[in-house]
Structure 1
Amino acid sequence: MKKYNVAIVGTGAVGQELLNVLAERNFPINQLKLLATERSAGKEVQFLGETHIIRKTTPQEFAGVDIALFAGGGASKEYAKEAVKRGAVVVDNGSSFRMDPEVPLVVPEVNPEAVREHKGIIANPNCSTIQMVVALNPIHQKAKIKRVVVSTYQAVSGSGVDAIEELKTQSKDILADQEIVKKCYPHQIAYNMLPHIDVFLENDYSKEEMKMVNETKKIMGSEEIKVTATTVRVPVANGHSESINIETEKKLSAKEAKEILAKAPGIILEDDPMKNIYPMPINVQGRDEVFVGRIRDDHSIDNGLNMWVVADNLRKGAATNTIQIAELLVKESLV
């Protein structure tokens, strides 16, 4: 089997998970290069029994790299095109290229064929969008979705390792009657919820909410789908949850939807509420599937369904989806 020179840009929560997933899925790596900011350069990282030294990201570091996996943040805006110039195919977790018409936005369970259209860069969607479209697509293929109303309950790991530590520290301080220190969020996150993810826009939606609106249409290849979102940060360490209301053109019962989703790729159905069986963030840690439950008819409209969707946002919402895209590139001989 051919092996590839792989670079990972970024060594935070997503970068660490990229390494875990590469190892677990036995990705065919020839040489691995770890790149990050000057602050992280020189640190040692263990991967498959070998020690790797993190190097400062520069355009020259991409020479000889076949696949460059960007873990997010602003690095891709500065270095993605430099990597492409030097022969690498970039899979980017950041938001810089997602809505670029020249850049495919890919979720392998939904639109794998889009990787063939790449011109050097492929975008990994927003974490909350990924798990939603994995659950929506089987329904859309069967009954054509007209409208989606989604409310998210997003873990602090979506903000990085510092936010996880802030949640832990604030929780301890509250229990000890100590003063609460806020650094990552404008308000206390422990024992609280913030209807505020990313910046607010002129239309009073947050940037995160508009990502879900626009990315869903691009991934599913349908500008006709109406999407509205409310995104909320909750005091959960890891694992995003979503309450999704769907209106379809064709009538689809909850029973039929369960049967469809039970057979769909990348989905695990957990739906027996009478036995207290439904998806929860605590149970999806380290899993790559999207978990779906609480599927029920919406009696307020003719063709409506409600469902509850949960996934590990660092895995399927970031690292795993990125590696799945890289696997498609290898499978299709596109790198």
Structure 2
Amino acid sequence: MPERPRRSATAAVHIPDCPQWIVTRAGVRAALGGRRDDLGALSAAWRIRVCMPAFPETIMAEHEFRDRVLIRAARRFRQYVVVDPDLPPWQPVHEVLPADRGARVLYLLDDAESAVRSWMVAAYRETPGVSWMSSAPGLGACLRTAAANGEITLDAPIWVVLSSALQHTWDPRALLADLWDVLPADSRVSVTHVAPQHPATTQDSGRSPVEAAFTSCLSSPLVLRPASEVLDVFTDPHAWDLIRCSGVEIQAPPGIAASRSTTDTAAELITVIARRPPRTRPRPSASTVDHARNPGHDPDA
């Protein structure tokens, strides 16, 4: 697809006795995964580890869960949209999917993540079934444009990987609302979302230490929501079918020294798979929503 103008939205991080570094969300997540070519991202990752030593393990678990879900989804789905993909060492979605399935993968890129765009252009320009475009001005508009260009079709279900995008937005309902208006029935949205197992907020900001550290390093926020809030965005104002909801505690690796008075040493990884019902489906009653929140099993996920 033609390249679109990028807007500059990166943030400078001041590190004592060092020059200022420009860092992004994808760069920091890559540094938390072991990538070492960005000194600014490494410094930001160090600050985040101090606040939540389990954070690197949550990202690893997030990708492991995502990969298991996608391999199973490939039995039925041929279209995938990935919002805000990660840099290596994390594996891109199209390399996780079975090569013989003929899947099409559309990546929606944050304009501030120039390293992600450059990597994709260099590595996958000639890869069949792989395309990308800016996620601006909104996900719904992007899907309509991609459909008009023949990169996806809105006549068949689409699997949307919305993991990191959901926890890096102040308004998750607006993100989902844009998808609700466009996605075909039976489409799926899969989310993994990190939440503190024992939330501890600071008096000045009302946010946990790791949220404050992340936001001070980046222009992209980190918003850690409990499971109840994550599930609420799939029930109000639109009623998605919650076909899988679960959470698992992620512990910091042994040997990490941290003061429990100032840090979160454990985290919960919340996983959700939601199905887009037909547009005529009425919103369920409160009792139905409560029942849907119990962990479920989707044979097609």
- Normalised TM-score (structure 1): 0.31
How does the TM-score come out when normalised to structure 2? Answer: 0.34
Computing the radius of gyration from Cα coordinates, the structure with the larger value is 1
